[in-house]
Structure formats: structure tokens, C-alpha cells
Structure 1
């Protein structure tokens, strides 16, 4: 009976432990996902020559923390017996893996808000403490068998390094708010300087001024990037040393065990053979992850080793002084009042005192961490100075032979180094680092040139004046509503006119396709200009309507479910097609106004997208009929050409804002957005340099550049100018008529015979 019970228990245990192999593979898969993200960051850093390796794909967030929690499943398992070599090594590799992961996504703290930093660091601390407690419990439980525990010293060392890495995390997190505030002030000061220099710079062309402006803001954005600031910090360089040490420990224990047994086939746990895959995947992750953190350490050593002229004072300031931003936040907390309301004065005073003592201890520990990190860096610099000096001397000899620095020729602004933003106590950025930064912006502009919109340039070149900006919508067309005219954004008339042009019959397919390609290339720039210059968001619904129309036109060649290709093939003339489109649009607007009872809809800016699009089609279609109605079928091609020129005029007027948009995108208030925004500005300049140069040569109808932002302002200025010209012409004609009449009458009195002007 007992034997049957034992057999039954064994069967139950076997069935319960069967899924453990799948769990081991799950752990290995989570480790591989983290490894892939680390590898992507490493490749991205090498590709962009950012040897401080920003955390782009592998950052501290909920996803990475969840993956790490899965990856450290083995060390947290208190119930499974794991005494064999492969099992023990898998536990050690998990501890080393999480330390390496922490070193890799440490710079990502700079991309978070203060609240996100607090939440993520707290979550990471809970995970690390939980792992530490679990491993400690295992050690205490089998204290009597420690002599037989495989890789026990390496396991304890891995736990110690993991806790030390957590200390580096906390220390770095505490200095982030202060550094952001400090760099924000420096950035805005340099922003004023750059703006003033731009206003005074009148000698260079528009494109050269934009290039210089982009380089200045690029340097400011790159050097003040919170991730780059953290990567330059001494705590981050120390984490690189820790990751290098812990990786060496893992390799040492694996090599030592491999010399004794087959480390991939020594598992007796319930995870069975899956621990082998855990060990392999995490070892690969540690090896790949031990590229970026030590690289940041080497860059810091190289930068400080090349900084010549160290005196005793500068050495003390650089390596044995704790700058204020490391403890500023804690000092502010210590000096501030309590956020908790306590009426009893004695209790409030006691709580304030306890908080002050705790923060004083934290400030002391922060000093210890920073000074220790600086001491480690100082020792590293002292050891490597001879090597760096030899390499630097060899580089100078190489340049003397004719290989000059690319920076000296690539950058026309010799004072670009003024725009490097550094923290207090930071050494000057190396020339090579500055070269890489400037070379990257040149590379982005070159990539943009390869994507320049050729078809758009052809269409814009067809514009010879700005008449199309006012002629596309006639004031003589009656409104369908009692409110003011619905304002236009730049994109709405372009997409509406393109829809009409594509619907015209008797037009060569080649011309329609060419127009479609040109507008497709241009509409992305037009939408960008609309979005950037509409700062208050007043035209958001108008932009949405244009976007809805364009999606239908570009993807399906339809306007509000009517196929434009079928319309062009019906055999009807252009007038009939335009009337159909106008009647359908008018019906849509009238039905909406008749049925809608919402008071908000009295304002045309709040209308639905399809109603705004229909109102635009009605007005533009009626305007074309008013100008070209009644002509024969033979004029369809000419009508298409007229519409193409009108679209070109509106596009050209809109694209005069490109320089302004590039300037706006260079400057961003949010420090986390600047780097990507300046990159987009550089790419945009590369793509549109030729268009900007072409439009810059044309004379604008007004002198105030701010008036170019809105198409309504363009129309108002041009119409006002046309009225002035017309009035001047009328007055001038009257003057000459009066002058001629006066002279004739005067001469008649003298007996002379002159031909009277008509109407005299």
C-alpha cells in the first residue's frame, strides 16, 4: 500500500514538474529579447559614432523590468533543488545578466520625467532587493552545506555588484532634476545668442544661414541631451567598470567549471535541459552588454587624459570635489517644509528633524559615492595617460603628413565650440567628439538631399506669380451659411484643386499622374507647415478635413466615395463634372446645416471634416465655373493646366515658410525633444534646399515675414495690394485725361488745332 502511494506521489510530482522545462525556455526567450535590444543599441551607437551608446531600444521601463523579472526566475526559485553545475552557473549568469542590463539602460533615466524616474527606480529597487533576499534565504537555509555549493564566491560577488549597481542608479537619479534645470538655463542663454547672431548675419545665403543655425542647435541639443549628460557622469563610468568586472567573473567561473565537467549537461533540477539554454542566452547577453558601459568609461578616460595642463587646483576640482548638482535636490528637500499637515507643533518639529537627519545621511552617502567614483576615474586616468599620450602623438604625426582634421574643413563656424553645453566641473569636450557631432549633422543633411522631391520642384517652378493664392476662391461666390467664411489652411485648397483636376476628362493620363506625384511629394511639407505654424490649433478641424480628403484621393482616387477616375471617363465635359461635384458638395453642407442643432456647430471651425471638405469643394468648383464656364470640350486640357498652375502658386506660397519651420524646429523647450527635432530640421533642409533657394530669389508681396504663415493673410495682403494698384491706375487715368483736356482747351484759346481726346 505504501509502495502504491509512493508511486502515485512520484507520478503527481512528475506531472507537476513537466512544464518546468517550458518555463526554462521562457526564461531563455526573455533573456534573448533583452539581448537583442542591447545589441540594437550597440549597433546604433557604432553606426552613429556615438560611443557613449544612448539607450534607444533597451531602456528602463515597465517592459524591460518585466523581462528582467522573468530572466531572473532561477535565482528567485526557493523550492527547486538546483545543485548541479549547469543549474548553479545558470543562477550566477542570471545575477550577472541583470547587473549588465542595469549598466546598459542607466542613461535612459535622462529621457524620463522626474515622476517616471522615481517610479522606475523604485520598481527596479524592489526587484533587486527581492532577488537579493531570495538568494540570501537560500544561503542561510543550506549554511551547513556551503562547502559543497558550486560557484558560491562568484554568486556572492554577483549579488554585491548588483547592489552596487543599484546604488549607482539611485545616485544618478538624484542628480537628474538639478542638471536638467542647470542645462535649461544655459540652453536658453545660448538660444538668445544664436538668435541675435542670426539677425545680424546678413552676408550669407538663406541656406547657409540655416545650415549654420542647425549646427549650433545640433551641438546644443546633443551636448545637453540628458542621456549624454548621464553617460558623461562619473557614476555611469563606474557602472562600466562594474559591468566589466562582473562579466570577467562570469567568464572565469564558466571556464573554470568547463575545465572540470561538461557545463552544458550537468543539470538535475526540474528545469532539466532548459537551464543549458538559459545559461547560453544569458552568457551571450552579458558579452554583448559588456560593450557599451565600459566604452563610456574608456571615453571618459580618453577625454580627461587628453585634457592637458592639469594643475593641482584643477585636479582637486576635477577629481576630489562634489559639484552642487549632485546633492542640490536633497538639500532643497531638507530645507523645505513638510508636505504632511500635522497640527501638533512638537510632532511636526520631530518629524522635520527626523527627515533632516535622514537626508543628511543621504547627502553624506552621495558624497561618498561620487568621490569614490571620481577616485576610480582618477586612478584610471593616471594609469592610461602614457598610452593616450603615445596614441595622440602618433595621430599628430599622421595629420602632419597631410591628413587634416575633417572638423576644420567641414565647419565654417570656428566658434561652434561655444555652443557646447557642459555641467559645472566637466572637462572640455574632445575635438574628436565635436567632430563626430558635426559630421553627424552633415550626414543627416546629405541623406536628406538623396530624398529631395524632384517632382515637387518641377511643379513649383511652374509658378511665376502668386495670383493662384487669391484666384482659387472668388469672393463673388455666395456662402451657404450665415456665418463668416470658413478659413483655409494651406493643404485644404491644394487637395481640393487636385481632386478637381483629376476628375477632368480629356486630359492625358501622363499629366494627371505627374500632378499626382508632385502633390504627393509636396503635401507632407504642407501638412508640416500647417501644423507648425498653427500654434494655437485654431485650424485643427480644417487640417483634419484636408487630411481626410487626401487619404481618399491618394489611396483610392475618390472624393467622398465618388471615383474620380470613373468621373473622368464618363464622356461628360468639364463643366458638367464640376457642376455635379459642386451640387453634391452643396447638398452635403445644406443638409448638415438644416439637421444640426448643436450650438457648437454654428461655428464653421467646429464642423465635421466631410462638411468642411464639401464646403471647400463647393466654393472652389463654383469659382472655376465662374472663370471658365461655358467653354467647349477642347478647353479641358487648358483648364487642367490652369488648375496645375494655381496649385503650383499655392504650393510655392506655402513653401516660402520652410525656412521659418526649420528655424522653429531647431528650438524646442522640452529638453527630451530637442535632439530629434533638430535632426528632423536637418533632414528637412537637405530635402528642400533647392526649393528654398529658388523661392528665396522671388519677390514676396509683403515685407513682414510673419505674414507668410497663413494663407488667409497672403490672400488679404495680395487683394489689398491689387485694390491699391487698381485705384492707382484709375486715378492715374483720370489725371492724364484731365491734363490732356486742360491742355487742349488752353491751346484752343491760342487758335491752335488739336485733336480732342474722346469724352472731352
Structure 2
């Protein structure tokens, strides 16, 4: 009977069931801490990148976060565990406040979701919120919660309002994305025309690229779905509600700890025991950290529109309901409802019910937007006095500050009038006209900042390697590594690949005997830095996926273990063999890999093209062709001198890298336009980092005479090979 939970006398042993509760409290605290860490990471990320609208990078509404939140708020839905002490009652309140905080904090994340994902996550969040509200109401009725009743009631009201605001804000996301995508394409065409005109001027290439990036960044940033949601009026209002929720929890905690005699608590201890204090601490920290981002969004929205700071004073136009708020609901109302019912009267009743329901939703949406704008106006009226006092104090301090205008003029910053006007590239919604100048001013110099930051991490080994290239001879090394028509290991030749050719040549260079380790290390370091940009350029081609994978697999072994597939190339160089013998060993090893695979796979020749060969076969084919090319020219170039062969391979590698990196300008342009609206901002940021790191390389290569190939051909290695040879 003891195993069934009963004692010897047959009475149910309830105390036994409560023993794990302290450890469950630790589990709740761990989930709360996870929420706190994720929200704090978003705050740090926002400050680090100076995105004070705080995009949700680490804490978003998804299946994982909703599961963690469900664990973190377990105390709110615990209906029958006694909570007699003040800390127990506060922990109940902090769990409720945490839900408000996470909803406000993660609101911008709905901008990155697809339509089905939005629906799934909002429904799941709604079920959680309604469950919590119902359970708290039950606890208020049964007496499990017997203090802080007003605080609970207020936070439950805020929770319900935030759920409605979040749900109806999510309805606008598809419409906003469509609208901004269309607007982006028009602005992108305008940017391309301006870039084409700039190319006809005598401006340096790096300045043309920098100005192009500034245009692309302004468009990509201002149409970022998270930024659009983050600057919306509903998100601003949610920030005010989040502050009110956190203030309610803070008020309850202050009253409890400073005026404990005003409460009457029960005697005894909670079954959660010592873990309640841990839960209360972690959830209070989570609420505090989670309130930072919504509060700053709220404050910035007020600061942008505050009349006392020179902003627009008229508010009458701002209280119109912009079309994009209700566009989705209007489209749903106009669409026919396809139901498998033949009876005309039934279909009419259902259709009328749908129209009335959607009219109600449109009314609710209008009420939410209007209320949000009222909250913003009240906030402005309240904060304008404080901001005005701050401006007055600042102006008074400036009178006693020495005039540094001369020093400022001599600095690196350009006067405002000489900067590129980017206001026409700011993508904004209806009703956001007053924010255009603010958004342009705050993001004008973002790409220059990243470029300067990236310039501090120049690929020095790559630049040293590129200096081995011979400008007077063009890109001759690009043909020397495969200078003769050497038959490949199959009837059809596999296409050359920038990265695979580089790693194969580097593998051969490491195998060359009597070369000092310093030269080998520098070659590996230079190729390693160059492959980062080579892979970016190869991403523009879609037909060399297997070749790029083969290069990655080979390079992993070469860089870490000095092994080319199954051959220890460093050991091979120490066995006393001459260069011809080493090249023959590598060639034979590649041939054996191919022939062995062909025996096991008789249908290899039936593949559509050699570019679809398995990665080891492609790596073997590349090694065989390059080794045979070098062997056929072995005597003419006196490669039996190891230093001469190593130097020749270094020049080949340098020329291949130089030819490939001439596509950096094309890569930066494509990178700014091909990504989706959710990824476009990060894509342009990446392009700015690449430009900053390779600015000196672009200058160096721009001085060289390039072959008469169009941009698409210049990205293909075989096109270079055919043109030069």
C-alpha cells in the first residue's frame, strides 16, 4: 500500500506528494532566468548596434519561448498549493507581471514571422494568457490569493489588453510587408539609376560603393519588419502598459518590504519552501530587464513627436485610421467564404455573420489604434515638461562651455550640407512623414561606422598573398595551374571552381619538400582569409554546390591536420621524395579514389553533369588535373627546384584570388538586393563589413587591367580561363 501513496493505516500520504515542490520551484526560477537572460541579450544587442528600438534577436514568440514561459508562470496557474506568506503572494504577482513583460518585449518579433507562424504563435499565446487569467480568478475566489487583489486585477486587465493589441497588430504585418516590398523595388530602381550616374563620374571606386551602400542600407533598415512594428503606435502604447505593469509589481514589493504591518498573512509555510525566494528574485529581475526595451521604445516615440523639441505641433491628422491597419480585415470581408453548403439561405446567413464579425474586428482595430494614439498623446503631455526642463538645463550649460566649433570643423566629420541626402530612400508608412528626417539622421552614418570598424580587421595575410600576383602579366597564373588540355578522369570535364582550385593548389604547396614552416603558415593563413570572400562570390553561382562542399571538406583536413582526404601531405614532404615523385603520388591517389568509386557506382556516367559528382570525386578530379598540368610543364619551368615550384604555386594562388576578388563590387551590389525583406537589413550590414575589410583590396585590384567580360562572366572561373588562354 505504501507504494500507492497510502500509509499503513490506509490514509493518503499527502505530505509525500509535496516533497518535490521546492525543486519544481528551482525549475520555475531557471525558466524565469532563461527569459531574463534572453531579454537582457536583446537589450545588450540593441545598445551594441545602437538599435534603440531593440529588435528581438534572442527572445521571440515561438514554440520554445512559449514553453519556457509556461514553465516560468506555473505559480500563476497553481490552484491548490497553499501560499500563506507574503513572499508566496508576491511570487504569484510576479509570475503574472512576467507575462505582460514578455508580450511587450517580444512584440517586434511578429514582423519576422510568416502568416501561418503568426497565427499559430498568437493562438498559443492567447491560450496561455486566457488560462492564466481564468486560474487567477479562481484563486481570487477560493482565497489562494488573498492579498494584492487590486494589483492582480490591474495586471490581468493589462495582460488582456496587451493580448488584444498584439493580436490585432499581427493582422497588419502581411499588409505592411507587401506595401514595403513594392515600395522597396521602386526605391531600388531609383538607387540603381543614381549609382549608374555616379559610375560615370570621376569619384573613387570606394566612394561610389560607400554611397551605394548608404542608399541600400537606408532602404533596408527603414523597411525592416521588426523596425516597422517597433516604431508603430501600438508598440509604443504597449511600452507604456509594460511600464505600468512593472510599476504595479514594484509598488506591491515596496509596500510589502517597507510597510509589512499593513498586511495580514497566514501562518505556516508554502510547500515550495525555500525556492519561493529564488523564484521571486529571478522573476523580479526578469521583469526589470524585460521592461528596458519597451520603455525605451516608448520614450523614443515620445521624444520624436514632442512639440517642445521642435517637432510637429499639429496632432489632428495623426488621429486618422491609416488604411494599412484594417486592410487585411477589409480583404477578408470582401473575399467569398467557400463552405461546402448548397443551401443559398445558409450560405447567406454564414456570409452575413462573417461580415458582421469582421466589421466588429475593424471597429476593435480602430479603437485600439485610436486608444494607442491617445496613450501616446498623454505620454507626450506628461513627458514634454520633463524634456523641456532638460533642454533648458542643457542650453544653460552650453553657455558656460568653451566654444569648440573650430576644433569640430577640423575633425573628420563632414558638414551636414555636404552629406548625401538620403531622405528619399527612407521607406515609411502612412502617418510617419514626421519620422523621415529622424530616421535618416539616426542611420545616415551607420554604414560608415561598420566600414571603419571592419577596416581595423584587414585580412593582412591575404593582402600579403595578393602582392605575389604579377600585374604586368595580367592574371597569367590563372591558366598556368591548368595550362594544357589534360583529360579529366571522365569523358566530360568538371567545371573549375575558385575555392576547390585554391585548396588543391595549397595542398600541393604544403607537400613540396624543403620549404620552411613560416612560408607554409603564411600561405595557409592567406588562403584561409581569402576563402571567406571567395565563398561569398561563389554564392552568386548556383551550379557549383558540390564543388564548394568539396573545397570545404578538403580545406578542413588541410588546415587542421595537413591531410588531403586520405593522404598525409606534410608527412609526404618529409619522406625524402623529390617534387616529381610527390606530384605523382598525389595524382595516383586521386586516380585511385576516382576509379574505386567508379567500380562501386557503375551509373556515375549517367549523372546529368560532372558538377553533380560526389564531393570526394570532384576533389580527386581537381587534384589529378592540377598535378598532371604541373608534371607536363615540369621540365620547362624547372620545378625540380622545390623553391621554384612553391613560388610558382604561390603566384597561381595569388592570381586566382585576385581574379575572383574583382567580383567584390558585384557581390556587394547583389547582396543588397537579393535577400528577403526579413533578412535584407542583415544582408546589407554584411556587405558593409565585407567592403570595410576589403577596401584596400578593391583599390589594389581596381588599378589592374581587367578582361573584357561582363559581370556574370567574371564570376565564373572557366570564363576567365578561356578568355586569358
Query: TM-score, structure 2 length as denominator?
Result: 0.92
The Cα of 1:270 is off from its aligned counterpart by 1.4
Asked whether the equivalents of residues 600 and 606 of structure 1 are also in contact (C-alpha less than 8 Å), the reply is no
Q: Tell me: CA distance 1:648–1:359, structure 2 relative to 1, closer, same or farther (3 Å).
A: same
Q: Tell me: CA distance 1:433–1:631, structure 2 relative to 1, closer, same or farther (3 Å).
A: closer
Q: 1:97 is matched with which residue?
A: 98
What is the distance in 1 between the residues matched to 2:192 and 2:436? 26
Q: 2:240 is matched with which residue?
A: 241
What is the distance in 2 between the residues matched to 1:60 and 1:530? 35
Asked whether the equivalents of residues 84 and 267 of structure 2 are also in contact (C-alpha less than 8 Å), the reply is no
What is the distance in 2 between the residues matched to 1:478 and 1:277? 72
Instruction: Structure 1: state its 5+ residue gaps.
Output: 720-760
Instruction: Say which is worse superposed, 614-623 or 387-396, in terms of deviation.
Output: 387-396
Instruction: Say which is worse superposed, 426-435 or 514-523, in terms of deviation.
Output: 426-435
Q: 1:664 is matched with which residue?
A: 670
Q: 2:3 is matched with which residue?
A: none
Q: 1:499 is matched with which residue?
A: 507
Describe how 1:39-54 pairs up with structure 2 within 5 A.
Answer: 39-54=40-55
What is the distance in 2 between the residues matched to 1:175 and 1:591? 59
Secondary structure, aligned partner of 1:74: helix
Q: 1:583 is matched with which residue?
A: 588
Secondary structure, aligned partner of 2:444: helix
Q: 2:151 is matched with which residue?
A: 154
The Cα of 1:461 is off from its aligned counterpart by 1.6
What is the distance in 1 between the residues matched to 2:636 and 2:403? 77
Q: 2:478 is matched with which residue?
A: 469
Q: 1:559 is matched with which residue?
A: 564
Q: 2:602 aligns with which of 585, 597, 602?
A: 597
Describe how 1:201-600 pairs up with structure 2 within 5 A.
Answer: 201=198, 202-203=200-201, 204-261=203-260, 268-305=269-306, 308=310, 310=312, 314-318=314-318, 320-389=319-388, 391-392=390-391, 398=398, 401-402=403-404, 409=415, 413-429=419-435, 434-464=440-470, 465-483=474-492, 485-531=493-539, 533-534=540-541, 537-598=542-603, 600=606
Asked whether the equivalents of residues 32 and 281 of structure 1 are also in contact (C-alpha less than 8 Å), the reply is yes
Instruction: Say which is worse superposed, 636-645 or 505-514, in terms of deviation.
Output: 505-514
The Cα of 1:134 is off from its aligned counterpart by 1.1
Q: 1:752 is matched with which residue?
A: none
Asked whether the equivalents of residues 85 and 257 of structure 1 are also in contact (C-alpha less than 8 Å), the reply is yes
Q: Tell me: CA distance 1:690–1:127, structure 2 relative to 1, closer, same or farther (3 Å).
A: same
Q: 1:757 is matched with which residue?
A: none
The Cα of 1:459 is off from its aligned counterpart by 1.1
Q: 2:67 is matched with which residue?
A: 66
Secondary structure, aligned partner of 2:641: helix
Asked whether the equivalents of residues 265 and 273 of structure 1 are also in contact (C-alpha less than 8 Å), the reply is no
Residues 418-453 of structure 1 show CA distances to partners (whole Å, capped at 9, x for unaligned) of 211111001433766544423432232122112211
Asked whether the equivalents of residues 489 and 542 of structure 1 are also in contact (C-alpha less than 8 Å), the reply is yes
Secondary structure, aligned partner of 2:596: helix
Asked if 1:190 corresponds to 2:187, the answer is: yes
What is the distance in 1 between the residues matched to 2:287 and 2:10? 40
Q: Tell me: CA distance 1:15–1:408, structure 2 relative to 1, closer, same or farther (3 Å).
A: same
Residues 694-747 of structure 1 show CA distances to partners (whole Å, capped at 9, x for unaligned) of 00010012153332110011112222xxxxxxxxxxxxxxxxxxxxxxxxxxxx
Secondary structure, aligned partner of 2:77: coil
Instruction: Structure 2: state its 5+ residue gaps.
Output: 1-5
Asked whether the equivalents of residues 235 and 373 of structure 1 are also in contact (C-alpha less than 8 Å), the reply is yes
Q: Tell me: CA distance 1:392–1:489, structure 2 relative to 1, closer, same or farther (3 Å).
A: farther
What is the distance in 2 between the residues matched to 1:480 and 1:285? 63
The Cα of 1:36 is off from its aligned counterpart by 1.2
Secondary structure, aligned partner of 1:81: coil
Query: TM-score, structure 1 length as denominator?
Result: 0.88
Q: Tell me: CA distance 1:630–1:674, structure 2 relative to 1, closer, same or farther (3 Å).
A: closer
What is the distance in 2 between the residues matched to 1:186 and 1:432? 19
Q: Tell me: CA distance 1:678–1:644, structure 2 relative to 1, closer, same or farther (3 Å).
A: same
The Cα of 1:410 is off from its aligned counterpart by 8.1
What is the distance in 1 between the residues matched to 2:27 and 2:385? 48
Q: Tell me: CA distance 1:666–1:259, structure 2 relative to 1, closer, same or farther (3 Å).
A: same
Q: Tell me: CA distance 1:394–1:685, structure 2 relative to 1, closer, same or farther (3 Å).
A: farther
Asked if 1:179 corresponds to 2:176, the answer is: yes
What is the distance in 1 between the residues matched to 2:589 and 2:480? 22
Describe how 1:20-35 pairs up with structure 2 within 5 A.
Answer: 20-35=21-36
Q: Tell me: CA distance 1:396–1:646, structure 2 relative to 1, closer, same or farther (3 Å).
A: farther
**If you compute each CA radius of gyration, which structure gives the higher value, 1 or 2?**
1
Instruction: Say which is worse superposed, 122-131 or 89-98, in terms of deviation.
Output: 89-98
Residues 255-298 of structure 1 show CA distances to partners (whole Å, capped at 9, x for unaligned) of 22223439999762211222222112111111222211121111
The Cα of 1:407 is off from its aligned counterpart by 7.3
What is the distance in 1 between the residues matched to 2:211 and 2:638? 54
Q: What count of residue pairs does the alignment treat as equivalent? A: 704
Asked if 1:697 corresponds to 2:703, the answer is: yes
What is the distance in 1 between the residues matched to 2:487 and 2:368? 75
Q: 1:755 is matched with which residue?
A: none
Residues 59-106 of structure 1 show CA distances to partners (whole Å, capped at 9, x for unaligned) of 111111111111111121112122432221111111111111111111
The Cα of 1:632 is off from its aligned counterpart by 7.0
Asked if 1:675 corresponds to 2:672, the answer is: no
Q: 2:124 is matched with which residue?
A: 123
What is the distance in 2 between the residues matched to 1:84 and 1:552? 62
What is the distance in 1 between the residues matched to 2:513 and 2:689? 39
Instruction: Say which is worse superposed, 218-227 or 363-372, in terms of deviation.
Output: 218-227
Instruction: Say which is worse superposed, 631-640 or 238-247, in terms of deviation.
Output: 631-640
The Cα of 1:389 is off from its aligned counterpart by 4.5
Asked whether the equivalents of residues 502 and 564 of structure 1 are also in contact (C-alpha less than 8 Å), the reply is yes
Q: Tell me: CA distance 1:68–1:476, structure 2 relative to 1, closer, same or farther (3 Å).
A: closer
Asked whether the equivalents of residues 628 and 639 of structure 1 are also in contact (C-alpha less than 8 Å), the reply is no
The Cα of 1:571 is off from its aligned counterpart by 1.0
Q: 1:132 is matched with which residue?
A: 133
Q: 2:714 is matched with which residue?
A: 708
What is the distance in 2 between the residues matched to 1:246 and 1:174? 25
Q: Tell me: CA distance 1:108–1:8, structure 2 relative to 1, closer, same or farther (3 Å).
A: farther
The Cα of 1:634 is off from its aligned counterpart by 5.8
Residues 219-272 of structure 1 show CA distances to partners (whole Å, capped at 9, x for unaligned) of 112111111111111111111111111111111112222234399997622112
The Cα of 1:392 is off from its aligned counterpart by 4.8
Asked whether the equivalents of residues 105 and 290 of structure 2 are also in contact (C-alpha less than 8 Å), the reply is yes
Describe how 1:629-668 pairs up with structure 2 within 5 A.
Answer: 629=635, 635-668=641-674
Instruction: Say which is worse superposed, 597-606 or 579-588, in terms of deviation.
Output: 597-606
